[in-house]
Amino acid sequence: MEPVRSLHDLLDLQNVDSQIDRLIDQRQGLPELDEYRSAHEATAEFGAELAAAKNRLRETGLAIDKTNGELELTQQKASAEEMRLYAGGLSARDADYLRREVEMLKARAGGMEDEVLALMEARDVIEADVGQLEEEVAAATERKGRLESRIREAWKVIDEELAVKEQRKAEIVPLIDEDLVDLYEGLRETRDGRAVGALSGGVCGACHLMLSSAEENEARRQNPPRCVHCRAILVP
């Protein structure tokens, strides 16, 4: 294979690879990706808060049912004891004891009624929180879906361009000496993807530094030509 032709094909390969790198960076750096991550985090956060609020709502409902049940039993017992007290036939001592028992049961029932009212008020607040959080989850989910659609559309366009560049790369690689390709790939890994540069007017196209006449002659004597500054492959 003709060395010069191979070098010029290598420069074409570098240009194509640079375009591929830019497209990949563009794909990974879409502004919508940060927005999508933010929307995803918001959806998860609101979802967790909603689940916790629904759990509180369920527990409050159970507490209301439990307290109402205990209240009903206490009221029934107070009513039954009061009926015994009013029925008479008790000694003064038993009547006094029963009267205190009825008062205690009524006081307990009053406390339970207050507790039920407080629980019902708490339930109203939690229900409002649940409604608000459901709206937040729906809004975050909708925003996330819109962003996902925009990202997929952008990726589709980029991927189509990538496919064209990858096809062009596949056509160029066989034209280049295999050892030269291996050297090129190794240099790309250590030089942030830029391994080849045109030598024009004594300037390296990779690092953009000027080579003196002696340095240029030294570079040209190497096979392949290499920049004395950055060690990139030079294409005269």
Contact 95, 85 (CB under 8 A): yes
* Assigned domain for 57 exists: yes
Provide the domain limits for residue 67: 29-163
Residue 184 in domain:
no
Q: Kindly state whether residue 172 falls inside one of the protein's structural domains.
A: no
Number of domains in the chain: 1
pTM over 0.85: no
The per-residue pLDDT for range 94-152, each reduced to its tens digit, is 888 888 988 999 999 999 999 999 999 999 999 999 999 999 999 999 999 999 999 99
Q: Between these two residues, 5 and 130, which has the higher pLDDT value?
A: 130
Position 197 in a domain: no
Whether residue 4 has pLDDT greater than 60: no
Q: DSSP 3-state helix, strand, coil percentages of the chain (rounded to 5)? A: 80, 5, 15
How far, rounded to the nearest angstrom, does the alpha carbon of residue 39 sit from its chain's CA centroid?
Answer: 8
Residue 91, domain member (yes or no): yes
3 found inside a domain: no
The answer to whether residue 178 sits within a structural domain is no
Tell whether 8 is covered by a domain.
no
CATH of the domain at 152: 1.10.287
Q: Indicate if the pLDDT at residue 169 is higher than 70.
A: yes
